Amino acid sequence: MSEEIDLTGDGGVIKTIVRHAKADAVGPTTDNPVVDVKYEGVLAETGEVFDTTHEDNTIFSFEIGSGSVIKSWDIALRTMKVGEIAKLKCKPEYGYGAAGSPPEIPPNATLIFEVELVACRPRKSSNLGSSTEERARLEELKKQREMAAATKEEEKKKREEAKAAAAARIQAKLGSKKGPGKGKGKAK
């Protein structure tokens, strides 16, 4: 896994990149502040999952900086690129604080999220000058999603190749250990 990055300088939000985005991937900007993410949140103390988009394969969307999510997400998602998956460790003051979010999240809980940035886009109220600009925006979103899918496919292919290589090594070892045995063989 990658190194831990202290995004707040006080250990409040620690980011570890699980999967890097492609080199030409884009991140959120003032023109594209709305992000689409997939995530899973667990309580650091117990490891219990309190929220996830993985079970129903949904996308969660929000605008960075609008105050609609916990502080740690606003901080961390600004640093991510489309296709990137990061593990975020969030201290209570960057999460739900002393109040928590009962019943799922107790007071003063440290939270751990695994977040994938799926896409970035402009807010709906953005004034798009023409249908040409809208088409360009949709093409860019399509490109971002295709890049994320290609990255996932590459990772899957690498895992499959590694499994096949490991299986071949095991087969080769087993094959080299075989020799004339002492067991009951049928004579011809």
Residue 113 annotated in active site: yes
Cβ–Cβ under 8 Å, residues 14 and 5: yes
Residue 62 annotated in active site: no
Question: Which of these is catalytic: 17, 36, 94, 96?
Answer: 96
Residue 94 annotated in active site: no
Question: Which of these is catalytic: 14, 36, 64, 113?
Answer: 113
Q: Which residues of 72-108 are buried (b: 16+ CB within 10 A; e: fewer)?
A: bbbbbbebbbbbbbbbbbbbbebbbbeeebeeebbee
Question: Which of these is catalytic: 14, 39, 64, 85?
Answer: 39
Q: Identity (one letter) of the amino acid at 176?
A: S
Question: Which of these is catalytic: 70, 75, 85, 105?
Answer: 70
Q: Identify the bridge partners of residue 49 per DSSP, sorted by sequence position.
A: 42
Residue 50 annotated in active site: yes
Q: Identify the bridge partners of residue 52 per DSSP, sorted by sequence position.
A: 40
Supply the DSSP string of 104-160, one letter for each residue. TB-TT--EEEEEEEEEEE--TTS----HHHHHHHHHHHHHHHHHHHHHHHHHHHHHH
Residue 56 annotated in active site: no
Residue 112 annotated in active site: no
Residues annotated as catalytic are 39, 50-51, 70, 96, 113
